[in-house]
């Protein structure tokens, strides 16, 4: 019998990031997409108008700038969550 998995991400709802990190969030979101796309392509996936696991086709195998806003939001949420966790753990982010 499989155990039931219950995700327990760290609560970062109390973390407020400064507005100047918005540029970093967007750069991170783009890189998240690039890493994902590179991994898919290395696995043999190609662009397709509709996702097909059997054919290894995905409509998001396009440049970040061409993604629908809903897909960009997913990548931004990943970046934002990562930065909030870094802050919650006591690390500081600074630009040299």
In the three-class reduction of DSSP (H, G, I as helix; E, B as strand; rest coil), residue 32 is classed as: helix
Percent with pLDDT over 90 in the chain: 93
Residue 1 has pLDDT above 80, yes or no: no
Distance between CA atoms of 42 and 70, rounded to whole angstroms? Answer: 24
Number of residues in the chain: 96
pLDDT band at residue 2 under the 50/70/90 scheme:
confident
Specify the DSSP class assigned to residue 3. Answer: P
For residue 61, give every residue at least 6 positions away whose Cβ sits within 8 Å of its Cβ, in sequence order, or none.
37, 40, 41, 45, 46, 47, 48
- 59-63-66-68 Cα dihedral, nearest 10 degrees: 50
Distance between CA atoms of 29 and 4, rounded to whole angstroms? Answer: 31
Residue 33 has pLDDT above 80, yes or no: yes
Residue 94: the pLDDT is 87
Give tens-digit pLDDT for 51-85: 999 999 999 999 999 999 999 999 999 999 999 99
Residue 56: the pLDDT is 98
Percent with pLDDT over 70 in the chain: 99
């Amino acid at each position: 019998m499989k155990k039931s998995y219950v995700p327990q991400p760290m609560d970062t709802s109390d973390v407020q990031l400064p507005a100047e990190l918005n540029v970093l969030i967007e750069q991170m979101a783009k890189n998240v997409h690039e890493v994902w796309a590179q991994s898919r392509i290395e696995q043999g996936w190609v662009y397709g108008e509709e996702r097909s696991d059997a054919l290894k086709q995905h409509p998001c195998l396009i440049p970040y700038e061409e993604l629908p806003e809903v897909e960009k939001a997913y990548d931004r949420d990943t970046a934002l969550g990562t930065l909030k966790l870094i802050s919650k753990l006591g690390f500081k982010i600074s630009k040299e």
